[in-house]
Amino acid sequence: MYQTLMFSIITMLLLSACNTKEPIPMDLNEKHLIPKPSKVEATGSSFEITAATTIFYEEGKDDVKGMAQFLADFLQPATGMALAVEATATKPAGGIYLHFSALEGTNETYTLELNENLIDISASGEAGLFYAIQTLRQLLPASIEATSKQDTMWLLPSGKIEDSPNYTYRGAMLDVSRHFFQVQDVKKFIDYISMYKMNKLHLHLSDDQGWRIEIKSWPKLTAIGGSTEVGGGEGGFYTQEEYKDIVAYAKKRQITIIPEIDMPGHTNAALAAYPELNCDNKARELYTGTKVGFSTFCTDKEVVYEFIDDVIRELAAMTTGEYIHIGGDESHVTPLEDYIPFINRVQKIVEKYGKKVIGWDEIAHAELLPNTLVQWWAKADNAKKGIAQGAKVLVSPATKVYLDMQYDSTTHLGLHWAAYIEVDSAYIWNPATMVDGIKRDDIIGVESPLWSETITNLDEIEYMMFPRIIGHAEIGWTEASQQNWEDYRLRLAHQKERMEILGIDFYKSPLVDWD
Ligand code: ACM
């Protein structure tokens, strides 16, 4: 009896000694994070996520609880582990701990502190917690992106990361008008840009080739205007319920949807649906080509403003963000003396429904309301006209961030009217020094538009956005002084495995050593 007891005790001691594993040394600086964080201090050890790891959240904070659950849900497929999510009133000794703390910066600022026992995630707001989780994601092996259980150790290097974005507006645009994309594709697009800490998705919801958002008071917009697309395909549109679902999905990933109704030009789909929007009261033919600049609302008809009022009212009611985009680009058949009062009046309609205006750079010809943003895509002089009126600039130069521009002359998709944009060209530029007269303080941020004249499905979206969008995300997030092409191209190469596991069809630029 005594011998059996002694034997059991010795066996238990031996087993527990074996279970107390020495931490595995790891170097946080070798993690090749994108966007590059503000500050990284490596401490040479590691934390292992196991089935016993609990994700703790600060008691009484629903936002923190939501993020803790989001992390648990993210980790589950590849690890095969459903980690416990628990409230705590005090800092735990071990596990993953998410909490708020008053950090200097904005609600996007976060710190991530890892040692052998604890991953401590703090931020002043929900957004910061979300970005800490995106960083944590890149600290894990790329196989964390898999959708089925992977056999690996889930190790993260120890150390401390302090991080905060340079620009508050870091966005992408998807043109769902020239070709229509289903809700599930838009959600994928949201997943992709949120991985790299972008926070705005501008949806180009109307153009000559298609009207893509249900407006209940003007049902023919979608019934007729949404019925085709470039090339004559069947087109499509989002019901208001679907649009709200996209808005909610994006919000959970800290992304604000910016809806655009382009006007007074780029309006053929509406002009085909409602003859009264034309000066001659004749409905236009639906258009499935790719020319621009031929359509315009009849800017001196009252019914046009009644129409816009209804559209903006319904759109504003479904939009949680502060901005509505009114287009304003390439209105080549709208005389400037009609264009200016039109933009002036439409801004007031947007303001009436509690939203602020964004418009393409041409709108700077009008009298801008105090909070209107000018999106510089073509003419720096227009952006400067906006700045002279006190406006901030959203930087989207076609020569640098238009994702529909071809990489080089061999790219089988896209266009090249602005430039060929290789991966280095997309990265090596600074919004705040690109032209004289547009300075850091004039700029709210950066946005990368993907126009879809030649883009018909998610694979093609992925090929044109990846990997350039990753560089644009870094330009928006990371201080310009910390950006360096030689360093970036090494970090970018390390995104390859992650993109492959995610099933992203990306352009393997010869400028990057992917192996
Ligand atoms: C634009 O590319 N027409 C804004």
Q: Is 10 a member of any domain?
A: no
Cβ of 360 closer than 6 Å to ligand 1, yes or no, is: yes
Q: How far is the CA of 436 from the centre of ligand 1 (A)?
A: 22
To which H or E segment does residue 157 belong?
A: strand 154-163
Mutate which of 202, 363, 377 for ligand 1 pocket (most atoms within 8 A of beta carbon):
377
Mean pLDDT score, 205-234: 98
**SS3 assignment, position 409:** coil
Q: Which atom of ligand 1 is nearest to the CA of 449?
A: 2
Cβ of 330 closer than 6 Å to ligand 1, yes or no, is: yes
- Is-contact 42 157, C-beta < 8 A? yes
How many domains does the chain contain in total?
2
Cβ of 377 closer than 6 Å to ligand 1, yes or no, is: yes
**CA neighbours closer than 13 Å in the CB half-sphere of residue 30:** 11
Q: How far is the CA of 392 from the centre of ligand 1 (A)?
A: 18
Q: Which atom of ligand 1 is nearest to the CA of 375?
A: 4
Mean pLDDT score, 239-264: 98
CATH number, position 204: 3.20.20.80
* Predicted local distance difference test score (pLDDT) of residue 285: 98
Q: How far apart are CA 197 and CA 108, in angstroms?
A: 9
Closest C-alpha among 348, 293, 299 to residue 324: 348
Q: Judge whether residue 18 has pLDDT over 90.
A: no
Q: Is 358 a member of any domain?
A: yes
Cβ of 329 closer than 6 Å to ligand 1, yes or no, is: yes
Q: Which atom of ligand 1 is nearest to the CA of 398?
A: 2
Q: Which atom of ligand 1 is nearest to the CA of 396?
A: 4
Mean pLDDT score, 346-362: 98
Listed in order, strand segments (DSSP E) in 366-511 are: 373-376, 392-395, 443-450
pLDDT classification of 9: cutoffs 50, 70, 90: low
Q: How far is the CA of 376 from the centre of ligand 1 (A)?
A: 9
Q: Is 513 a member of any domain?
A: no
Q: How far apart are CA 65 and CA 374, in angstroms?
A: 37
Q: Is 492 a member of any domain?
A: no
Q: Which atom of ligand 1 is nearest to the CA of 360?
A: 4
* Whether residue 261 is found in the same domain as residue 390: yes
pLDDT classification of 22: cutoffs 50, 70, 90: confident
pLDDT classification of 21: cutoffs 50, 70, 90: confident
Q: Judge whether residue 429 has pLDDT over 80.
A: yes
* Whether residue 192 is found in the same domain as residue 260: yes
Q: Which atom of ligand 1 is nearest to the CA of 402?
A: 2
Domain end among 114, 144, 163: 163
* Whether residue 469 is found in the same domain as residue 455: yes
pLDDT classification of 1: cutoffs 50, 70, 90: very low
* Whether residue 231 is found in the same domain as residue 371: yes
- Residue nearest (by alpha carbon) to ligand 1 atom 3: 329
To which H or E segment does residue 400 belong?
A: helix 398-401
Q: How far is the CA of 377 from the centre of ligand 1 (A)?
A: 7
* Predicted local distance difference test score (pLDDT) of residue 105: 86
* Whether residue 247 is found in the same domain as residue 181: yes
Mean pLDDT score, 210-228: 98
Q: How far apart are CA 9 and CA 3, in angstroms?
A: 10
Instruction: Give the rounded percent of residues in the chain with a pLDDT score beyond 70.
Output: 96
* Whether residue 100 is found in the same domain as residue 71: yes
Q: Is 5 a member of any domain?
A: no
Mean pLDDT score, 196-211: 98
CA 175 distance to own-chain centroid: 14
Q: How far apart are CA 190 and CA 172, in angstroms?
A: 9
Cβ of 402 closer than 6 Å to ligand 1, yes or no, is: no
Closest C-alpha among 424, 426, 406 to residue 416: 406
Mutate which of 262, 267, 329 for ligand 1 pocket (most atoms within 8 A of beta carbon):
329
* Predicted local distance difference test score (pLDDT) of residue 15: 45
Q: Is 45 a member of any domain?
A: yes
- Residue nearest (by alpha carbon) to ligand 1 atom 1: 329
More confident residue, 333 or 14: 333
* Whether residue 143 is found in the same domain as residue 176: no
Instruction: Give the rounded percent of residues in the chain with a pLDDT score beyond 90.
Output: 95
Mutate which of 330, 361, 400, 453 for ligand 1 pocket (most atoms within 8 A of beta carbon):
330
Active site residues: 330
Q: How far is the CA of 295 from the centre of ligand 1 (A)?
A: 14
Q: Is 333 a member of any domain?
A: yes
Q: How far is the CA of 194 from the centre of ligand 1 (A)?
A: 24
CATH number, position 26: 3.30.379.10
Domain end among 163, 183, 198: 163
* Whether residue 135 is found in the same domain as residue 188: no
Q: How far is the CA of 224 from the centre of ligand 1 (A)?
A: 24
Q: Are strands 154-163 and 39-49 parallel, antiparallel or unpaired?
A: antiparallel
Cis peptide before 467 (omega within 30 of 0): yes
Q: Judge whether residue 100 has pLDDT over 50.
A: yes
- Is-contact 131 254, C-beta < 8 A? yes
* Whether residue 152 is found in the same domain as residue 211: no
Q: Which atom of ligand 1 is nearest to the CA of 266?
A: 3
User: Each residue of 267-317: pLDDT tens digit?
Assistant: 999 999 999 999 999 999 999 999 999 999 999 999 999 999 999 999 999
Q: Judge whether residue 104 has pLDDT over 80.
A: yes
Q: Which range of residues forms the domain containing residue 93? A: 20-163
Q: How far is the CA of 260 from the centre of ligand 1 (A)?
A: 12
Q: Is 298 a member of any domain?
A: yes
* Predicted local distance difference test score (pLDDT) of residue 2: 53
* Whether residue 148 is found in the same domain as residue 214: no
Q: How far apart are CA 336 and CA 320, in angstroms?
A: 33
Domain end among 163, 188, 212: 163
- Residue nearest (by alpha carbon) to ligand 1 atom 2: 377
Q: How far is the CA of 397 from the centre of ligand 1 (A)?
A: 10
Cβ of 462 closer than 6 Å to ligand 1, yes or no, is: no
Cβ of 376 closer than 6 Å to ligand 1, yes or no, is: no
* Predicted local distance difference test score (pLDDT) of residue 474: 98
User: Each residue of 168-183: pLDDT tens digit?
Assistant: 999 999 999 999 999 9
Mean pLDDT rounded to a whole number for the chain: 96
User: Each residue of 471-514: pLDDT tens digit?
Assistant: 999 999 999 999 999 999 999 999 999 999 999 999 999 999 99
* Whether residue 178 is found in the same domain as residue 156: no
Mean pLDDT score, 160-167: 98
Q: How far is the CA of 473 from the centre of ligand 1 (A)?
A: 21
Closest C-alpha among 191, 205, 201, 131 to residue 171: 201
Partners of 473 in beta bridges: none
In which residue are the tokens 């309301």 written? 369
Q: How far apart are CA 227 and CA 209, in angstroms?
A: 9
* Whether residue 137 is found in the same domain as residue 197: no
pLDDT classification of 101: cutoffs 50, 70, 90: very high
Q: Judge whether residue 14 has pLDDT over 50.
A: no
Q: Judge whether residue 203 has pLDDT over 70.
A: yes
